[in-house]
Amino acid sequence: MKDSGKKEAMFCTPLDKSAVKCGLCRQLCIIQDGKRGICGVRVNESGRLYTLVYGKAAATGLDPVEKKPLFHFHPGTSTYSISTVGCNFRCKNCQNHEISQMPKNFGPVLGEYFPPEEVVSAAKRYHCQSIAYTYTEPTVFFEYAYETAHLASKEGIKNIFVTNGYITEEALRTIKPYLDAANIDLKSFSDEFYRENCGARLQPVLDSIKLHKELGIWIEITTLIILGLNDSENDLRKVARFIKNVDEEIPWHVSQFHPMYKLLDKPGTPASTLRMARRVGLEEGLRYVYEGNVPGEEGENTYCYKCNETLIRRYGFEILENRIKDSKCPKCGAEIDGVGLA
């Protein structure tokens, strides 16, 4: 049935005895007949791989693009957000675990039928400049996102991934013609953190960030800071140095953690820790570092990297003032990095 969510999957290699290898994300699951991959939404049926979430939306919403967070990509505009169930990570702090972890261990694959053409129509109806594939990991609903992004591009609507960065090179290159921006989580610079907290590895994320940049996709990086796990100045300095080595123009969002899911015993991140992280990022040579989830902090504003003039004043996800003209600082004329700034 067209609304079942089932569709033959992309990036599949047949193996012996009806097994298949999924080449969509860097988990590179080898899936036996009758089993699902780590994401819980790709299933092997008699040696053929299927996605179970095509056109099957679990959540939609109208958001400011700043909520993604993207501060240098068409600031002040609205984005139409969409997701399905499923994720290729198992983060203990997942804020959307009800839908991201739902299909694990052959759990239910829920959602309402919402095909690509209707997603694009909704984005147009609400005058959104972009569609964000978000809330859960967009890579795991790739076929759905890919066809939606293709249609959206024809209508002049931009496309955004809010992602953990575990997509394979083949899949990223496939969607690149229609993918305009991405916010990528760089959760820590510790492989141990990735293994224990996320069920993943660090290096594929680093490689993915580099590839996004090489392909010309606008990227911003987010690090959710959790006390006792990834909050050391040394670790944060490694993150900042890595971003700087990719490109100093990449904005870095250091965000406040709130007790969530399996990390209810961890306290919320104090604003002082975010200020320290922002200081570290600026010391390492990043042009733009933002404190996230703490409305009212000076670290949520955009400043000129040359003269320190305040260019965009924010409160939370709301823009109070944008002084950028023709992508330049009105005081010193420095070119401000980003897409569609003003």
Q: What is the pLDDT of residues 272-309, one digit of tens each?
A: 999 999 999 999 999 999 999 999 989 999 999 999 99
Average pLDDT of span 131-157: 98
CB 51 within 8 A of CB 144: yes
Q: DSSP assignment of 45-78, as one string?
A: ETTEEEES-TTEESEEEEEEGGGTT-SSBSTT-E
Q: What strand order describes the sheet that includes 7-8?
A: 7-8, 48-51, 42-45
Residue-range domain boundaries for the chain: 7-51, 56-322
Cα–Cα distance between 210 and 215 in angstroms, integer? 9
Q: Is the per-residue pLDDT at 22 higher than 60?
A: yes
Q: What is the pLDDT of residues 240-271, one digit of tens each?
A: 999 999 999 999 999 999 999 999 999 999 99
92's enclosing H/E stretch is none
Tell me the CB-side half-sphere exposure of residue 96, using CA atoms within 13 A. Answer: 17
Could you tell me the pTM of the whole model?
Answer: 0.97
Q: Which two tokens stand for residue 71?
A: 């501060």
Q: Is the per-residue pLDDT at 105 higher than 90?
A: no
Cα–Cα distance between 20 and 49 in angstroms, integer? 7
Q: Superfamily assignment of 56-322 in CATH?
A: Aldolase class I (3.20.20.70)
Outline where 106-225 has alpha helix (H): 116-125, 142-154, 169-175, 191-193, 203-214
